[in-house]
Amino acid sequence: MKRGASHIWNAILFGRDALHKGLVKRIGDGSITRIWDDPWIPSNPAFKPLVRLPDVDVNLVQDLIDQNFGKWDYDKLEESFAPIDAQAIAGIPLGRCSVDVWAWSLEKSGTFSVRSAYRALLSNRFDLSSPKSSNSLSNQCWKELWKMQVPPKVHSFWWRVINDFVPCRDILKRRHMDEISHCKICGTDTESIFHAVFECS
């Protein structure tokens, strides 16, 4: 990221960050996957062990595999990890590939798709300062909005507010359509929807 970079370049970097958030290694022989640094445990947040026990001397995933039988060394798992991590690792299937490969965690096939990445960004599954979707609201709140006796354009306006579709400057900057996010009216640092609707004079 460089000062004065184009919107296209900023969008490319944003997409790269999203890609990194969804990549996970599928274990083959475990020879090139680092236990503590690489994402490889699909059921864990960040795809990494949750706890690192003191005095643990394993570094590569291959150290956890019984090479003679091609399965996890359960004794090694128990002595090297907290129970919650050991259980998560034991649930990872082996034998699907001969070497460790990168895969896209949001598709069963492991193949990247723009659709799954887009849905993850909309649902705020990736922490990239993406707008929250309307699913974060309670169903009751959503129903109350549509039951209000107001003109349709008011319904439409608040639907846009809830879904972050109002083009305030904070949202335009996050979507790489504007370079600054401060409010032109009062000068506050961030012109969010809440600021535009409730706070700004």
Per-residue pLDDT of the chain (201 residues; tens, 9 = 90+): 777 888 888 888 888 888 888 899 999 999 999 999 999 999 887 899 988 888 888 999 999 999 888 899 999 999 999 888 999 999 999 988 889 999 998 888 889 988 888 888 777 656 554 444 445 444 566 677 777 888 888 878 887 787 777 888 888 888 888 888 888 888 888 888 888 888 888
User: Are 183 and 191 in contact, with CB atoms under 8 Å apart?
Assistant: yes
Q: Which two tokens stand for residue 93?
A: 């299937």
- Long-range contacts of the stretch 170-174 (C-beta < 8 A, 24+): 170/195, 171/131, 174/129, 174/130, 174/131
Closest of 23, 29, 42, 25 to residue 95, by C-alpha? 29
Q: What is the dihedral of CA 116, 122, 126, 130, to 10 degrees?
A: 150
Task: Tell me, yes or no, whether 141 lies in a domain.
Answer: yes
One domain for residues 100 and 155: no
One domain for residues 110 and 139: no
Task: Tell me, yes or no, whether 2 lies in a domain.
Answer: no
One domain for residues 160 and 79: no
One domain for residues 30 and 109: yes
Pick the last residue of a domain from 65, 91, 122.
122
Q: What stretches of 47-196 adopt beta strand conformation (E)? A: 65-66, 71-72, 101-104
List 24's β-bridge partners, or say none.
103
Q: Which two tokens stand for residue 164?
A: 């972050």
pLDDT of residue 125: 58
| Counted domains in the chain | 2
Return the axis-axis angle of helices 7-22 and 114-122, rounded to nearest 10°: 90
Task: Tell me, yes or no, whether 128 lies in a domain.
Answer: no
pLDDT of residue 40: 95
Amino acid at the residue 133: S
One domain for residues 16 and 58: yes
Task: Tell me, yes or no, whether 129 lies in a domain.
Answer: no
One domain for residues 117 and 149: no
One domain for residues 18 and 97: yes
